[in-house]
Amino acid sequence: MKLTRRDLLAWSAGAAAGLIVTPIPWKILDDTSIWSQNWPWIPQPARVPVEIRQSHCTLCPKGCGLRVRMAAGWAVGVAGMKTHPTSHGALCPLGFGAHQLNWHPQRLREVRHRGNASSWNEAHAAFARASSEGPVVIIDGYPGRAASSVYESFAEKNHGEYRVFRGTELRSLNPYESWTGVPVTSLGYDLENTQTLISFGAPLLDGWGTPGYVTRLWSEKSGGVDDPQLRIIQIEPSLSRTAARARQWLRIHEGSESALASGLARVLMEQNLVPAHPPIPAITISDAAARTGWSEDAIQELARTLVSRPPALAIAANENPTVAALNVLLGSVGARGGIVRKEKISHAYVSASAAISTARAVLIDSSVPWDFAPQTDAEIFRFAAWNGGPTKADWLLPAPGFLEELTDVPTAPALPVETYAVAPALVKTTFELQSAAQFLVGIDSSLTPPEKTIHDRCADLFKNRSGTLHAPESIAIAKIESVQQLKEQLWKGAVWVGEASPPGGLKCELKEWPPEPIPATAAGWADSWQAPVLPPLASKLYIESNLRDAPERRNA
Amino acid sequence: MSARYGMVIDLDRCTGCGSCMIACASENNVPSLPQATARTGLTPLLVRKVSNGEDGERRRAAFIPIMCAHCEHDTPCVKVCPQQAVEVDKATGIVMQMPQRCLGCRYCMTACPYHARYFNWWDPAWPKGMEKSLNPGVAVRMRGVVEKCNLCHARLHAAEEKAAAAGKREIDPADYEPACAEACPTGAIRFGNLADPDDPVSKEARSPEAFRLLAELGTEPKLYYKSKEAWVRALAESNSARNSEVQHG
């Protein structure tokens, strides 16, 4: 049979038509799609079992409870611990990407001396030499930890000085420290019992304090409720997130918060709305109205609102003595729903921002924000897990990152009760690093290592038989049978919560109405984030959506 | 019994913190690529800021998390997919996206009334070593496919496996909660079974304050919102995208 060109064309057309009704082209299409999704350079997660561990976030002093998913020794996911007594399952948005931080390209992996690679031995020798030649200042951003006691002991033994960097929540308590003599670390805001909360720019619903503590209160008592038990009045020049969700947003001229606080105080006194009569502020109501851009009636109305549903509490965005004086006038200092004193009184710390007169060296703990630069000519030893860019530090020393070291988690700033928890080292490390406390113990072996201090603190908690252990069910500490049992629970993520102090115990009398401070900015969670880098997933907030403006000083 | 999983988001409790966005991306191994922008990034859950359009003290703002609404009826993306890469799971009501079948034609993106689908423009990549932090339960998707919220299907799988290991046919509702609902610090995002009349979320979805975006299209979305603020409801009923402060692809 002769094969013609027509036959060939007919066969080809028939084959092509027939092929379509066979699975072959579709299978090829499907497989191509699958193959192209499995190139060897595309990372695939390890097929390993996942284990859940409970711990605490140590990236800032707020110590939120964590539920960490672990696989093959690495953290593969982070969520909030819903049973946590203060954070209530909430984390700051960046916390949800914290498990990626240890792999951040800016991770500090080697000792650096003035930009050049160095070694731990050289760093040890340099610091030992410096501390023998003159006083050493040690700056801590997270006081109250076992590591902090190492710093205090070293500074004391070497005629140095231990200083504490204060976040905005602690700075807002500064005036009460100077008026009552009680250190800021022993003061807190009793928001659980507050009914009217007037915020002078504090980002209460945007990461202020322990994020879950405030948002849970607001959600339960105020959010979407017609007659809220907690009324938040936000005084702010712009419509912030807190202003958007507050019961009332009152717009004010930039930097006139103190004038408003003084104007409110004047109304409260002139109209006898409060029993106490501290010194009268110099500002008149009409001056306050002119400064704030409000009418006098509006200021009077707000003053009446403040006293209509007590307890009322005023919170400043930063250190602001006039707002603090308003609280004194409202009777909120040492009262239920106001500023309260914790059960245990710690001693006062020197603020990190105070001028350094004489020092041979300054050691900065990794908990101090990267952009904090001490004003000194001394040699600076800077511990950090991540390299945040240009720095004045002479030495950069790689510190443990997220969940890479055993540390304890003392009370968060501004909480009204004491808490204690432990964050064990859950994650493996792949290079040599040291915490500042380990570094100092390596230089002076007579110092008590942080691990030993944590064990001693557990023993003290057991001995005192006071407070409750949340594990997650609440157990009175008196029912715990041994120190070992207490430690096991703490290592598994339990939290000890102390007894609430009875109201009172804070005496505060003003001799004169305080002068207006220089306006300072508020700090939400993005600003209180102490790591100098953000988790890569933060780009979802800052770049891939327009939900937020990226913090300028951070490196995403 | 088949379930109908859905959500009710209380907009009066949403502070726009963005925790849900990061928790979603972390759970689902969504990469963060330096070249991604607001138009090209992968945000299966996107929180939009909206306002009442007023100025000064009368200005008000709210935050609306937008994600796949898991349309139940005439699901637009299912209807247009030439590859049958999208289907509504009869057992759960979840609109499933199968990246292995997806050709990347993006018809579904055009059809989706909520703009809740995203195209994978680049190979997924993480800084060196960071692949160790990926969620083992979720496969990484390749470039050239469309992605969207699947209500953390890996968590549903895990809950089903747990139930099967215990000899049960039904999962324990406590074992299955998407990452966004778990992460929400104010409890604004609530997840549940809309087919169960006793489920608290189902009850909320039937409350007079609940509404759905673009409900008039008749696609029966299973994503409900709640708000007592009249302007938010009016905005949602008109067209949220028109008044949005965020323009997103």
Q: What is the ipTM of this complex?
A: 0.92
B42 CB neighbours in chain A (<8 A) are 544
DSSP, residue by residue, A426-479: -S---S----HHHHHHHH-TTSPPHHHHHHHHHHHHHHHT-SEEESSSEEEGGG
Residues A280, A513: Cα–Cα separation, whole Å: 6
Is B184 a residue whose pLDDT tops 70?
yes
| DSSP track, B71-110 | --SS-HHHHH-TT--EEE-TTT--EEE-TTT-----HHHH
Closest CA–CA distance from residue A477 to any residue of chain B (Å):
29
**Three-class SS of residue A268?**
helix
| A48 neighbourhood in chain B, CB within 8 Å | 136
Of B186, B33, B44, the C-alpha closest to B115 is B44
Closest among A146, A111, A107 to A125, alpha carbons compared: A111
Angle at A494 between CA A492 and CA A497, to 5 degrees: 160
Tell me whether residues B246 and A545 touch, CB distance under 8 A: yes
Band of residue B237 on the pLDDT scale cut at 50, 70, 90: confident
Q: Identify the structural domains of chain A with CATH numbers, from first to last.
A: 108-165+355-398+441-446 (3.40.50), 168-351+400-433+465-531 (3.40.228.10)
Nearest CA distance, A197 vs chain B (angstrom): 17
Q: Which tokens sit at B194?
A: 């809309």
Decide if A542 touches B, using CB distance below 8 A.
no
Nearest neighbour of A93 by CB, restricted to B22, B128, B248: B22
A73 and B96 in contact (C-beta within 8 Å)? no
Which residues of chain A does B132 touch, with a Cβ-Cβ cutoff of 8 Å? 46, 72, 74, 76, 103
How far does B13 lie from chain A, in Å, by closest CA?
Answer: 5
What is the full per-residue pLDDT of chain A (556 aa) written as tens digits?
788 999 999 999 999 999 988 988 888 877 877 776 677 888 888 889 999 999 999 999 999 999 999 999 999 999 999 999 999 999 999 999 999 999 999 999 999 999 999 999 999 999 999 999 999 999 999 999 999 999 999 999 999 999 999 888 999 999 999 999 999 999 999 999 999 999 999 999 998 999 899 999 999 998 777 778 999 999 999 999 999 999 999 999 999 999 999 999 999 999 999 986 778 888 999 999 999 999 999 999 999 999 999 999 999 999 999 999 999 999 999 999 999 998 777 778 888 888 888 899 999 999 998 988 888 899 999 999 999 888 999 999 999 999 999 999 999 999 999 999 999 999 988 899 999 999 999 999 999 999 999 999 999 999 998 999 998 788 888 889 999 999 999 999 999 999 887 777 788 888 889 988 877 666 555 556 667 788 889 888 888 887 877 665 433 3
Two tokens, residue A284: 């008149």
Q: Do B162 and B171 form a contact (C-beta atoms < 8 A)? A: yes
Residues B91-131 have pLDDT tens digits of: 999 999 998 888 899 999 999 999 999 999 999 999 999 99
* pLDDT-based confidence at residue B243 (cuts at 50, 70, 90): very low
CA-to-CA distance for B116 and A92, rounded, in angstroms? 25
* Nearest CA-CA distance, residue B133 and chain A, Å: 4
β-strands B46-51, B61-66 pairing: antiparallel
Q: Report A:142-171 residues touching B (Cβ under 8 A).
A: none
Q: Is the dihedral of CA B72, B74, B77, B78 positive or negative?
A: positive
Substitution target from B12, B13, B14, B17 for chain A, most A beta carbons within 10 A: B17
Q: At residue A285, what is the residue type?
A: I
**What residues of chain A, 217 to 246, have a C-beta less than 8 Å from chain B?**
218-219, 223-224, 226, 239, 241-242, 244-245
Interface touch B138/A94, C-beta < 8 Å: no
Report how far residue A320's alpha carbon sits from residue A349's, in angstroms, rounded to the nearest whole number. 19
Q: Which two tokens stand for residue A165?
A: 């960097």
Chain A contacts of B178, Cβ < 8 Å? none
pTM, rounded to two decimals: 0.91
Partners of residue A541 in chain B, C-beta under 8 Å: 18, 21-22
Backbone region of residue A119 per phi and psi (left: phi > 0; alpha: psi in -120 to 50; beta: other values): beta
At residue A220, φ and ψ (nearest 5 deg) are: -75, -35
What six digits make up the tokens of A349?
Answer: 């710390």
pLDDT score recorded for residue A522: 60
Q: What is the pLDDT of residue A554?
A: 39
Strand, helix or coil for residue A313: strand
Please provide the DSSP assignment of A45-107 as one string: ------EEEEEE--SSTT--EEEEEEETTEEEEEEE-TT-TTTTT---GGGGGGGGGGG-TTB
The pLDDT score that the predictor gives to residue B55 is 87
Nearest to B37 by CA among B248, B241, B246: B248
* Chain A hits for B248, Cβ within 8 Å: 545-546
**Structural domains in chain B, sorted by start:** 5-243 (3.30.70.20)
Say whether A215 and B46 touch across the interface (CB within 8 A): no
Q: Quote the mean pLDDT of chain B.
A: 91
The confidence score (pLDDT) of residue A550 equals 66
Contacts of A33 in chain B (CB under 8 A): 100-103
A390 close contact with B: CB closer than 8 A: no
- Residues A103, B132: C-beta atoms closer than 8 Å: yes
B211 CA: distance to closest CA in chain A (Å): 15
